[in-house]
Amino acid sequence: MRGSAAVSTVNAGIEAFGRAAALELQGKIRVNVVSPGWVSEALEAMGRDPNKGVRAAVVAQVFRKCLTEDISGQVVSVTH
């Protein structure tokens, strides 16, 4: 998909930042990254097949779970 190289680069940076921040802030706060890939609603807005993405509501559920779990420094992938 057009623009995938830029998106992949940004995602890799965010994941690395999350891991590094979790190490630096260990014991103070938890830092995790929620990584959904393509979100259905965004794909639909771009005129693409929304079935190839994950619904925003599912991403939100994973985000909320990260707030309640005792985990840090993780990249949590979201799939359908």
Q: What's the predicted TM-score (pTM) here?
A: 0.82
Residue where the block lists tokens 């693409």 = 48
Per-residue pLDDT tens listing for the chain (80 residues): 677 899 899 999 999 999 999 999 999 999 999 999 899 999 999 999 999 999 999 999 999 999 999 999 999 999 87
Amino acid 69: pLDDT: 94
Amino acid 80: pLDDT: 73
Instruction: For 38-78, give the DSSP string.
Output: SBHHHHHHTTS-GGGSB-HHHHHHHHHHHHHS---S-EEE-
| For the chain, domain boundaries | 4-77
